[in-house]
Structure formats: C-alpha cells, structure tokens
Amino acid sequence: MSNLPEIKVFAGENSQYIAESIASSLGLELGKKTFTRFSDGEFVTSFDETVRGEHVFIVQSTFPPSDNLMELLLMIDAAKRASAYKVIAVIPYFGFARQDRKDKPRVAIGAKLVANMLQAAGVDRIITMDLHADQIQGFFDVPVDHLYGSTVLIPYIKSLGLRDFAIASPDIGGAKRANSWAKYFDSGLIICHKTRIRANEVADMKVIGDVEGKNIIVVDDMIDTAGTICKAADMLMDNGAASVRAVATHAVLSGKAYENIEKSKLTEVIFTDSIPQKQPCSKIKVLPIAPMFADTIRNIYEHKSISDHFLM
C-alpha cells in the first residue's frame, strides 16, 4: 500500500530531515505548516492544510533546546483543536528520559512531567525509540510503541564480518542491554565499571571480562560528552583488545564529544539519525531510521502487529 490517504505527517522545525524521509517512505508529501517566532523568542505553529478526521503523525525529537518539546506540545494541541481523528507523536529521541526517578532528595522526575504534558496536550499515542529507562512507558496512560535501534544497528555490525568479537557495556547500568546483544550474537560479555566525580565526569574505570585479542563492540543507548565511552575504549585497547567500536542509538554529543571521539582509540562509532549531527567526524557512521518508523506507522494505521520488526 503505497498511499495512505487518511494519514498526514508533519514535522517539527528541527526534525524536518527525518520527517521528510518517513513521509517519502510512506508515499506521502510532508504536511504543510507555518512556524513563526516573535522577537522575544516566543513562537507559534499552525497547520496550513486541513487535518479534520485524519490520523496526524507529528515527528519531533525532543533534544535540547526545550523549544523542541514546546513546539511538539503546541502542534499536538493545534491538531486536536482542528478536529484531527488521532494525534500520534513520533519522538525518535525522547528528551528528559534520564530523569526517570528520584535519585536524590528534592529533584523532579522530568520524564514523568513530560509524559503528563504530552497527555495534557491531547496526544493519543507515542512512537519512540530506545528510552533511557524502559519503565518510562508506564508513565503514559496512552499506548507507547517502544522501538529498538538494534533493528538497524545489528545488521550493520553483521556487515562488518568481525571475527572473535565480544559485546561490552560502558557501565553497570547498561549491562542488561549489552547482555541482550551478547545473547543475540552468542558472544562474550564485558562490563566496564566506572565511578564518577560528578555528572559527565568519570573518576575511575575497571574492566570485567575477557578482552585479550577481541574485537569489541561497546553498546549504549546514548552518547553525550563521550567521556565514558572514550575512556572505556582506551582502557579496553590498553588491556589487549584488537579493536573497539561503539554503538549507540542517540548521538546527543554535547561539549567536547566530537573532539573526544576523534582523539580516542575507537575505530568507529555508529549512531542512528534520531538526532542530527552538529558537525562531521571521521569516526562516526550514521544509519537512517526513517524506514523503520514508516513501517511502524503503516502497521499502526492498518492495525497490524509491529513486534515482528524488532530484533530485541
């Protein structure tokens, strides 16, 4: 089914690149909208075509700045007020997901607050990918389709034809994710144990597992400053690894991340395009996720299962 007449796909300002690919994969034109910013920084967004009775899919990753989240909320509200039949937020990168619990006194649970705001705006469904914490799905009282970046990342790893390789987690918190990859590949599992001085700064790191002579794939959901992943790679190479690659769904890449990756002993870092790249980097490989999201949208519209499309 190349054309889905009751579906309309719209994009937030900073997610045009992926929304256009999703719409193209569905055989649709991207919906028309107007974004106007006032001199004080406030902005308004409006649809330039009817959405009455339509399934409206709004594509917007909510990476910083918070304007991206606010724009998504305004677009959901606008679609509901324009009598859309269903409003589905397509959020490849779900911002504030690292704030999934109270890990110290007197802090907000940001992920729950975002869930509340999306529902208050009137969203009917969420499609997202590789949440930092799986339990965030339970913060919503509407359906959440939680996709996995491994669907596009694993085929690329297979294409490398690596021999004698192992899967590694950059920290204890990611051990479950890395273990799933290790089971899939029937490979060894390595865990890097780190201690932090403060947020985004690693004090010390130790390695647990057989490293010698291995081609190692370090698996994570996101890479921010790249401090942890680069320190892990350097340590693994110093302990006798043949090569170290990093795989992560979301390229947050803030601060000196690009510089850290270039200077590290990493052979390659593989991301999806859930977040656009800020600058080029010779060690970074970016894989498109639009076909996976388009396929999910088509199956949701046609009331088909989406579970068969995900490797883990």
Q: Which two tokens stand for residue 294?
A: 């388009």
Is there a contact between 95 and 69 (Cβ–Cβ < 8 Å)?
Answer: yes
Smallest CA-to-CA distance from 122 within 157, 162, 81 is with 81
- Beta-carbon contacts of residue 294 (< 8 Å; ≥ 6 apart): 21, 22, 23, 25, 26
Three-state secondary structure call for residue 37: strand
| Catalytic-residue membership of 194 | yes
| Catalytic annotation, pick one of 102, 158, 176, 194 | 194
Distances (CA, A) of 51 to 45, 92, 213: 14, 23, 58
Cis peptide before 143 (omega within 30 of 0): no
As a whole number of angstroms, the distance between CA 66 and CA 75 comes to: 14
Quote helix, strand, coil % in the chain, to nearest 5: 35, 30, 40
Maximum pairwise Cα distance, the chain = 61
Three-state secondary structure call for residue 113: helix
- β-bridge pairing 201-208 and 215-223: unpaired
Report the amino acid identity of residue 271: F
Instruction: List the beta strands (DSSP E) in 117-187.
Output: 125-129, 144-147, 165-169
Residues labelled as active-site residues: 194
